[in-house]
Homo-oligomer: A and B are copies of this chain.
Amino acid sequence: MKKKLTLKQIARELDVSVSTVSKALRDSAEISEDTRQKIKAFAKLYNYKPNNIALSLKNRKTKTIGVIIPEIVHHFFTTVISGIEQVANERGYHVIICMSNNSFDKEVINMELLANGSTDGFIISVAKETQQKQDYHHLNEVVNQGMPLVMFDRVIDEINCDKVIIDDTIGAKKAVQKLIDLGSKNIGIITTVDYVSVGKLRTEGYYKALRENNIEVNEDLILRVEDFDRSEEEIKAFLSQRKVDGLFAVNEHFAIYAIKAVQEQGLKVPEDVSVIGFTDGELSKQFMPSLTTVSQHGAEMGAQAARLLIRKLENTEMEEGPHQTIIIETGLVERNSTKH
């Protein structure tokens, strides 16, 4: 159980000074070829690796980026993380992930923890509770400290920082337009309560598509799910009293529950009712019928977010530049829950 080797130990062992060792290992011209070789050989033999913590302290940068997400057990977020990891690692950064579990308090605690030296910057998708409370002091604080911050997916307009979002509204509009093109006349939507920003935006897309096709909006065909844990029941109850031939759901689960409810009524998907979901997860692919969805390209979102952050991190000068918002296009993946 030998502890890690330090410069000091090498110096003592080889009877030179710490500075000499450091310089030799960094190939400084100041050190003679001879000693340089000797030191490097020794370091290699005993597998010397510089201590990251000491480096971080010295350089005042950690080469790590902090990612804060509401929940990890969610396919979309894991794909985003994959994207972040990939570009971060390519550029020599590593990634710390913390979950807020959709709790405002945990989000604040995690951010404060990581902000005190552990990370150079943040990539975050805020907790539902934060959107609801509209308390953004922790985010502002980080920004004021001059720490780069990139928000993705669930972003907050009031915060001045880089953002990566998808065109929720357009994506939703495309989906609803698809339903219209397929001949659906009575199109329902299953969405969330309005304070969830993406839910709201997707609902807007629904409105827009209808309006653009001169279809009158029937508020009775809109379900705003209150309680995620009871969503299956809410959806079943809702559909049992409506007659629809097209359904747009703002996430994968709502879509699945909707299909099940429809099937229980003896109707067929997609023959009687076409269904389109949002977020392209494993479930959409494997479910039968497989689900037509608006795909979010999570990995690309993550990659873009990481790129934005790293650019800010490495542009120390001009870091006060204007903030960008990158919009990732959505795609429509057609599968078997819609007619062909």
Contacts from A to B (Cβ < 8 Å): 1-4, 47, 49-54, 56-57, 62, 64, 72-73, 75, 78-79, 81-82, 85, 89, 94-99, 106, 110, 112-118, 141, 144-146, 253, 256, 260, 281-283, 286-288, 320
Across the interface, do B1 and A146 meet the contact criterion of CB distance under 8 Å?
A: yes
Task: Please name all residues of chain B whose beta carbon is closer than 8 Å to the beta carbon of A114 when the two chains form the complex.
Answer: 94
* A99–B89 CA distance with the chains assembled, in angstroms: 10
Task: Please name all residues of chain B whose beta carbon is closer than 8 Å to the beta carbon of A62 when the two chains form the complex.
Answer: 53
What is the minimal beta-carbon distance from A96 to any residue of chain B, in angstroms? 5
Task: Rank and list the top 7 A-B pairs by shortest CB-CB distance, nearest first.
Answer: A53-B117, A1-B146, A52-B117, A51-B117, A73-B78, A97-B97, A52-B116
Across the interface, do B82 and A3 meet the contact criterion of CB distance under 8 Å?
A: no
* A82–B286 CA distance with the chains assembled, in angstroms: 25
* A79–B4 CA distance with the chains assembled, in angstroms: 33
* A145–B48 CA distance with the chains assembled, in angstroms: 12
Across the interface, do B98 and A95 meet the contact criterion of CB distance under 8 Å?
A: yes
A-B contact list, 7 entries, CB within 8 Å: A1-B144, A2-B145, A51-B116, A53-B117, A72-B78, A73-B78, A95-B96
Across the interface, do B56 and A53 meet the contact criterion of CB distance under 8 Å?
A: yes
CB nearest to A50 among chain B residues: B116
CB nearest to A260 among chain B residues: B288
CB nearest to A73 among chain B residues: B78
* A54–B78 CA distance with the chains assembled, in angstroms: 32
Kindly identify which residue among B1, B64, B282 contacts A145, using a CB–CB cutoff of 8 Å: B1
Across the interface, do B52 and A118 meet the contact criterion of CB distance under 8 Å?
A: yes
Across the interface, do A4 and B94 meet the contact criterion of CB distance under 8 Å?
A: no
Across the interface, do B288 and A118 meet the contact criterion of CB distance under 8 Å?
A: no
| Other A-B pairs beyond A78-B78, A287-B287, 18, CB < 8 Å | A3-B146, A4-B117, A49-B115, A52-B116, A64-B96, A72-B72, A72-B78, A72-B82, A94-B96, A94-B98, A94-B118, A95-B98, A256-B286, A282-B282, A282-B283, A283-B286, A287-B288, A288-B288
Across the interface, do B2 and A144 meet the contact criterion of CB distance under 8 Å?
A: yes
Task: Please name all residues of chain B whose beta carbon is closer than 8 Å to the beta carbon of A281 when the two chains form the complex.
Answer: 282
Most buried by B among A50, A114, A288: A288
* A256–B82 CA distance with the chains assembled, in angstroms: 25
Task: Please name all residues of chain B whose beta carbon is closer than 8 Å to the beta carbon of A283 when the two chains form the complex.
Answer: 282-283, 286
Across the interface, do A145 and B4 meet the contact criterion of CB distance under 8 Å?
A: yes
* A288–B259 CA distance with the chains assembled, in angstroms: 11
Across the interface, do A81 and B75 meet the contact criterion of CB distance under 8 Å?
A: no
Task: Please name all residues of chain B whose beta carbon is closer than 8 Å to the beta carbon of A141 when the two chains form the complex.
Answer: 47
What is the minimal beta-carbon distance from A116 to any residue of chain B, in angstroms? 5
* A52–B1 CA distance with the chains assembled, in angstroms: 27
